[in-house]
């Protein structure tokens, strides 16, 4: 298995249009206000090692896929303004699911896990379940 770590910076607001303002405040607290984080994205891939190359994926290719499919779209952006995330409550869980989907289109079964650290103590791990 190979893990690649990348830093991401984006802002978001936790707010569901299916809830009242009071319900949103109760569920999301101060996070209903626009705020940002310095996220750490960890992408784990695994597979059979190609005997010719000694790798199951070229690391340069993996970095390029992460940049094109995730970083170029999310980094230094406001999540609610992005077309792929419109109408979705941008919890770390939902962002992890979206990142999984974006990367899985390119990596297929090589993709093992997506981990997003919102803070040192808060993170989400998603494996396509």
Report the CATH superfamily, name and number, of domain 2-126.
6-pyruvoyl tetrahydropterin synthase/QueD (3.30.479.10)
**Are 8 and 42 within 8 A, CB to CB?**
no
Q: Is 93 a catalytic residue?
A: no
Q: Is 31 a catalytic residue?
A: yes
Domain spans in the chain, listed from the N-terminal domain onward: 2-126
* Active-site annotation holder among 4, 31, 80, 104: 31
Query: 12 among the known binding-site residues?
Result: yes
* Active-site annotation holder among 23, 61, 76, 93: 76
Tens of pLDDT, residue by residue over 29-68, are 999 999 999 999 999 999 999 999 999 899 999 999 999 9
Torsion of CA 15, 30, 12, 38, to 10 degrees: -150
Q: Alpha-carbon distance 57 to 126, whole Å?
A: 20
Q: Alpha-carbon distance 22 to 56, whole Å?
A: 50
pLDDT band at 3 (very low <50, low <70, confident <90, very high): confident
Query: 37 among the known binding-site residues?
Result: yes
Q: Is 42 a catalytic residue?
A: no
pLDDT band at 106 (very low <50, low <70, confident <90, very high): very high
């Amino acid at each position: 298995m190979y893990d690649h770590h990348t830093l991401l910076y984006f802002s978001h607001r936790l707010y569901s249009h299916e809830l009242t303002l009071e319900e949103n405040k109760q569920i999301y607290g101060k996070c209903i206000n626009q705020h940002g984080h310095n996220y750490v994205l960890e992408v784990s891939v695994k597979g059979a090692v190609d005997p010719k190359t000694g790798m199951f994926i070229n690391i340069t290719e993996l970095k390029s896929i992460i940049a094109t499919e995730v970083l170029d779209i999310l980094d230094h952006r406001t999540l609610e303004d992005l077309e792929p995330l419109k109408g979705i409550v941008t919890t770390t869980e939902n962002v992890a699911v979206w990142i999984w989907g974006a990367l899985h289109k390119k990596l297929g079964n090589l993709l093992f896990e997506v981990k997003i650290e919102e803070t040192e103590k808060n993170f989400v791990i998603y494996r396509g379940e």
